[in-house]
Amino acid sequence: MKILIFFIFVSSLFFHGGIAATTDYQTDPIEVEALNAILIENWKIPFKGNNTDIFYNSTYGNYYNETRYWDINATNPCTGFIVDDSEDQRVYDNISSKGKLDILCSCAKNNSSTCNIIRLSAWNLNIFGTIPVEIQNLKKLVFLDLDSNSLNGQLPAFLGTLSEMKFMYLSANNFNGLLPSEIENLKNIQKLYLSHNNFEGEILNSLGNLTKLKILDLEDNSFQGSIPSSIVNLVDLEELDLSRNSFSSHLPQEIGNLKKLRELDLSGNNFTGSIPNNLIQRERLGLLNMSLQGNPDLCFDDQCEKSSSNKTTIIIIAVICSTIAVFSVIIFIGWKVKRIARNTLSEEPLRGGPLQSTVPGIHTSNKEFTYLDLVIMTKNFNKIIGKGGFGNVYYGIDQRNGSEVAVKMLSNSSIQGSKEFQMEAQILSRIHHKNFVSLVGYCTETGHLALVYEYMKGGNLRNLISGQCNSSTTISWRDRMRMGLEIAQGLIELFTSRMSTDNSSSRCEDN
């Protein structure tokens, strides 16, 4: 009788909801549609039938086999793939799912019968293309493993909407470009694997917002710049791998304040400066395994001081050598100029023998040039603009003010001697008339007599009157008469000074 009453009581509970009977859980229809689009339409990998997987039992510490049944074309893909909650060890297993498609679902603990996909693994399935946009509809996803595929393009910003995400594996693909700023919204992320891709640019400073991050793997990319100081906010960080990138600049002191950091790999970069002392101390205490090779400009404090001293010594030596080289060039140029001058003297010996170093009667207002001045002025006498009774006339530039000059040199073939040459210098140094060419200066070095005149661009008077000048202007008879009058005035000036008309020189003006 008592047994019968108990049976009736228990039965009433089942039928009236006192104890839950077998619940008919259904997968969220939005996620069903998204999953079909991701796997069938985008990745072309529909999975049907059953598969035996190996799982780890955290309670007993051993592995066990479990057969799963999943028909991707059904309206309830979560059937047979339900775990009690997202903390189940099977959700984060990343060992047994290589080479096969794998999902897990979690169903609400309240009266709702809706299930959500919390795990999606497509590790090493030869998937091509980009990450499908439909993934953003798997709002409860906490585990995503797309390692070792051929996915490409930039990391989509919509991944930042997966706020429940804890583990994300995207290594060994062909992703490129900059990391999206929206990645800072993954507040619950604990493990982020982005190694062996083609990412570039600097690490976002907002990465410091991922305060629950335990593992960050950016190995073998093209990241540049420096490690942001905001890394100090990652207080739970245990492993940091930035190896084989193009990072530079100094290591931030903040990185040594991460007390939970156990693995640090910075090898194969261009970091500079000294290693933070707190990192060195942690490594010496056996609290940190640190890899720094492949950073030639990164050093310990004592090594940095030696390196700095060596660099200073090298700079001093380089400056001294450069100074010696400059002076050597200057000395060589001076020797070369003197040699040219000496060769010119030997090639064009002036007759008249040794002369006095000064010409009596020349006014001191006229510049006395050295032979070296004339060599520089005429660029080693490379342009002849005329020839007179004393010798060749050369074109030159007065180095004092940049004005053009004519340099008349007494040559050994001159029909006039040094005495007549000195007389001309004395006359022109005394006479300052508008119809006489001005004497700029002279040279009286032994064997190198020269007169330096102002340069007349119009040529000589004979060529101007005869029409042989380059000017296209026709000279009228009125101008010709004026020129004759001015020449006469010049001759009067000479006769007044008791000078020979053979030494006169008239100005050719182009009015």
Residue positions forming the annotated binding site for ATP:
408
Identify the CA nearest to 202 among candidates 184, 221, 186, 178: 178
Burial of 98 (0-12, 13-18, 19+ CB in 10 A): middle
What are the φ/ψ torsions at residue 144 (nearest 5 degrees)?
-135, 120
Q: What is the DSSP letter of 275?
A: P
Q: How many CB atoms lie within 10 A of CB 64?
A: 10
The pair of three-digit structure tokens given for residue 322, joined into one six-digit string: 């450069």
Element (H, E) at 405: strand 404-409
Q: 362 CB contacts (<8 Å, ≥6 apart)?
A: 425, 426, 429, 442
Identify the CA nearest to 77 among candidates 145, 26, 136, 138: 26
What are the φ/ψ torsions at residue 140 (nearest 5 degrees)?
-95, 10
DSSP secondary structure letters along 196-226:
SSEEEEEPPGGGGG-TT--EEE--SSEEEE-
Question: Do the beta carbons of residue 371 and residue 443 sit within 8 Å?
Answer: yes
Q: 37 CB contacts (<8 Å, ≥6 apart)?
A: 132, 134
What are the distances in angstroms from CA 364 to CA 33, 315, 345, 449?
107, 51, 27, 17
Strand order, beta sheet including 150-154: 128-129, 150-154, 174-177, 198-202, 222-225, 246-250, 270-274, 297-299
**Residues making up the binding site:** 408
Q: 305 CB contacts (<8 Å, ≥6 apart)?
A: none
Identify the CA nearest to 119 among candidates 61, 162, 154, 173: 162
Question: Do the beta carbons of residue 215 and residue 195 sit within 8 Å?
Answer: no
Look-up of token digits 């603009």 = 385
